[in-house]
């Protein structure tokens, strides 16, 4: 295994130099924290990644979950890992003190997730899902449910899940059909199927707590008739014992990657004994679930960036160590070969990897800063941060996911034939990374979300706020001579985004939603490139200030490498918007007008 999976230097740069994590401690909610605690958390997370997670990466991949006698067996590390996370307070880290949490800034939590996912994505999922599910109970459930479930979940003894998808519905949540029949006992009887539910059965915990969407009998059709339930695998009884809750596991899928964690199909209430416990009000389930979904979307983006980070570290190490060929200016075959990192094309691939990894990471942390501010501010300030987070969530989920796949692929390419073989971890990262454009909403769904909902919500208020944020960065960069031309390029790109958006809104009015949204996926791609360009300009502005102070040695290399990657992004990645904008401005509805029978 490669020596590294994340750049610790970059993490600290982002946290303390770019996003000023310490500033958060000025808010009362985070007042008990400080840089020392943050550093301790990071150091511990890095140590756990190195000592516990990374060493089991290949082994968990090669020993995927087994379905035996109707139950899923996972690698024995899962039980230890969940308890370690429980005992160390990692599952409850972001929760308020009143729930036994540590009230850690989301920004710090996000970085620990990045570290864990980079070390071993599959393993990182178990505590992460549990934290999200517990947070959902915390936010919306009655006290009784909170008392019953949260402590066990935060202790890592019970697994939390997010049970949305059904076999017949897929991305179409309005077609969810799991039925919840009311009883006079205070619970509902559930009946239905759930599919592709991560960690929804395994022997690494004593119980599974499914946070599950279902439709109360007689509820309206569509998304307005969906309610949220707690549907445990075992019901905790008053005496502390557990009773089976009639949830059958129909099997664990064999997957391309992400093999250290099971995803299962569940069958609820085959024997009419599956009890579900309503969370909050009836028919409000989707609104509640969006809390967990939105958190999970940022988490998916973060995990995608994390896998890409691990791949970058692996291919960088290889490129430094592998001698092959000579510089084009000295082809004398009697000279010794140079490390392949000397070749321009290899440097290009490494710069691409780094640009994606650190650009994605930056955008995701930016979102987390908005989330932290929304948590501690109120009134207009809170709303502003919420709107920015809402707008950017589909982007922060998708750019790292889609570009992460390409970035890992370039990493594999750097190793050539070795990258294709399992002596190196690139082929594993390549398989793991491919899940991210699919789960927590496919890329197509996020395109529709960004253009069809987020850009137009509240009269375009979020979009306006976002443009102001980017303009602010541009204005500041214009003052710095090295950055000014790049500020100009980003301004130009923003002009393209405005032009495309206006054209599409016009198309919507002229020709309706199908034409408006036909190329929403391309719009999302265009938007994502510009958003990450913005984040690179944010980083470069910080770098320029520090470089003026004349750092030396490794520090100087770090800042100059940052700047070089920023240049790379603006010279190689940002120009990709040209072709996208050209297409998006056409608005001819080519795909809408393509008839299914035209495909053989």
Residues 6 or more apart in contact with residue 244 via CB below 8 angstroms: 233, 234, 235
Residues 213 and 227 sit within 8 Å (Cβ to Cβ): yes
Q: Does residue 66 touch a second copy according to CB under 8 A?
A: no
d(CA 259, CA 257): 5
Distance of CA 400 to the CA centre of its chain: 8
Between residues 32 and 510, which has the closer beta carbon with respect to a second copy? Answer: 510
**Which residues between 517 and 546 bind a second copy (CB under 8 A)?**
517-522
Decide: is 285 part of the binding site for a second copy (CB under 8 A).
no
Query: According to the binding rule CB under 8 A, does residue 250 interact with a second copy?
Result: no
Nearest by Cα to 540 from 582, 497, 584, 574: 574
The helix (run of H) or strand (run of E) holding residue 250 is strand 247-252
Q: Does 328 bind a second copy (CB under 8 A)?
A: yes
- Asked if residue 179 binds a second copy (CB under 8 A), the reply is no
Which position among 151, 236, 273, 325 is part of the footprint of a second copy (CB under 8 A)? 325
Nearer to a second copy among residue 69 and residue 329 (C-beta): 329
Contact mark string toward a second copy, 397..436, x via CB under 8 A: --------x---x--xx--xx-xxxxx---x--xx--xx-
Region label for 196, one of left (φ > 0), alpha (ψ between -120 and 50) or beta (otherwise): left
d(CA 71, CA 109): 32
Tell me which H or E stretch contains 405. Answer: helix 379-414
Which residues in 262-281 contact a second copy (CB under 8 A)?
A: 263
Query: By CB under 8 A, is residue 217 in contact with a second copy?
Result: no
- What are φ and ψ of residue 377, in 5° steps? -95, 175
Q: Which of 367, 375, 526, 348 is nearest to 462 (CA)?
A: 367
Which one, 289 or 445, has the nearer CB to a second copy? 445
Element (H, E) at 489: helix 484-511
Q: Does 218 bind a second copy (CB under 8 A)?
A: no
- Interactions with a second copy, residue window 120-159 (CB under 8 A): none
If one asks whether residue 189 binds a second copy (CB under 8 A), the answer comes out as no
Name the residues annotated as catalytic: 440
Q: Of 116-124, 295-303, 369-377, 581-589, which segment contacts a second copy by CB under 8 A?
A: 581-589
- The verdict on 446 binding a second copy (CB under 8 A) reads no
# residues contacting a second copy (CB under 8 A):
112
Q: How many residues does the chain have?
A: 600
One of 255, 375, 384, 454 touching a second copy (CB under 8 A):
255
Tell me how far apart the alpha carbons of residues 582 and 588 are, in angstroms, rounded to a whole number. Answer: 12
Question: What's the min distance (Å) between Cβ of 516 and a second copy?
Answer: 8
Is residue 594 part of the contact set for a second copy (CB under 8 A)?
Answer: yes
Q: Applying CB under 8 A, does 72 fall inside the site for a second copy?
A: no
- Closest C-alpha among 336, 338, 396 to residue 362: 396
Say whether residue 34 binds a second copy (CB under 8 A).
no
Residue 254 or 498 with smaller CB distance to a second copy: 254
């Amino acid at each position: 295994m490669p020596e590294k999976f994340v750049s610790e230097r970059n993490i600290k740069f982002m946290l303390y130099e770019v996003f000023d994590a310490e500033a958060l401690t000025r808010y009362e909610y985070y007042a008990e924290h400080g840089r020392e605690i943050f550093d301790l958390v990071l150091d511990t997370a890095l140590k756990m990644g190195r000592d516990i997670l990374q060493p089991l990466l290949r082994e968990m991949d090669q020993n995927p979950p087994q379905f035996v006698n109707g139950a899923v067996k996972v690698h024995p590390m899962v039980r230890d890992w969940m308890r370690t996370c429980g005992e160390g307070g990692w599952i409850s880290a972001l929760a308020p003190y009143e729930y036994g949490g540590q009230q850690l800034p989301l920004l710090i939590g996000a970085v620990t997730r990045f570290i864990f996912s980079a070390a071993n994505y599959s393993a990182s999922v178990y505590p992460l899902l549990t934290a999200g599910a517990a947070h959902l109970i915390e936010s919306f459930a009655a006290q009784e449910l909170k008392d019953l479930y949260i402590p066990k979940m935060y202790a890592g003894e019970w697994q939390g899940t997010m049970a949305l998808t059904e076999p017949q519905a897929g991305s179409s949540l309005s077609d969810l059909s799991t039925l919840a029949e009311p009883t006079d006992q205070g619970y509902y009887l559930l009946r239905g199927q759930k599919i592709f539910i991560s960690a929804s059965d395994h022997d690494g915990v004593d119980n599974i707590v499914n946070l599950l969407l279902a439709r109360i009998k007689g509820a309206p059709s569509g998304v307005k008739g969906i309610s949220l339930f707690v549907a445990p695998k075992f019901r905790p009884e008053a005496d502390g014992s557990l009773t089976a809750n009639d949830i059958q596991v129909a099997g664990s899928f064999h997957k391309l990657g992400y093999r250290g964690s099971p995803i299962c199909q569940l069958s609820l209430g085959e024997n009419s004994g599956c009890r579900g416990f309503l969370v909050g009000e009836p028919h409000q389930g989707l609104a509640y679930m969006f809390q967990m979904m939105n958190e999970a979307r940022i988490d998916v983006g973060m995990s995608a960036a994390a896998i890409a980070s691990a791949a970058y570290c692996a291919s960088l190490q290889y490129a430094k160590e592998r001698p092959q060929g000579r510089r084009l200016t000295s082809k004398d075959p009697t000279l010794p070969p140079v490390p392949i990192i000397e070749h321009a094309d290899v440097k290009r691939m490494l710069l691409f990897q780094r640009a994606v990894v650190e650009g994605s990471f930056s955008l995701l942390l930016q979102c987390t800063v908005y989330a932290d501010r929304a948590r501690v501010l109120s009134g207009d300030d809170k709303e502003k941060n919420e709107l920015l987070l809402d707008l950017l969530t589909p982007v922060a989920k998708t750019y790292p996911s889609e570009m992460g796949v390409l970035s890992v692929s370039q990493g594999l390419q750097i190793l050539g034939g070795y990258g294709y073989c399992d002596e190196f971890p690139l082929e594993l990262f390549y398989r793991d990374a491919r899940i991210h454009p699919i789960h927590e909403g496919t890329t197509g769904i996020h395109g529709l979300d960004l253009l069809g909902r987020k850009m137009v919500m509240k009269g375009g208020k979020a979009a306006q706020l976002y443009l102001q944020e980017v303009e602010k960065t541009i204005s500041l960069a214009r003052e710095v001579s090295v950055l000014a031309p790049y500020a100009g390029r980003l301004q130009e790109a923003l002009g393209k985004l405005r032009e495309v958006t206006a054209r599409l809104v016009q198309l919507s009015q002229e020709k309706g939603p199908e034409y408006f949204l036909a190329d929403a996926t391309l719009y999302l791609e265009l938007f994502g490139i510009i958003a990450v360009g913005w984040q690179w300009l944010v980083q470069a502005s910080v770098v320029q200030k520090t470089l003026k102070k004349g750092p030396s040695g490794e520090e100087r290399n770090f800042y100059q490498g940052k700047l070089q990657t920023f240049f790379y992004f603006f010279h190689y990645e940002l120009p990709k918007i040209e072709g996208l904008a050209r297409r998006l401005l056409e608005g001819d509805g080519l795909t809408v007008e393509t008839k299914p029978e035209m495909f053989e």
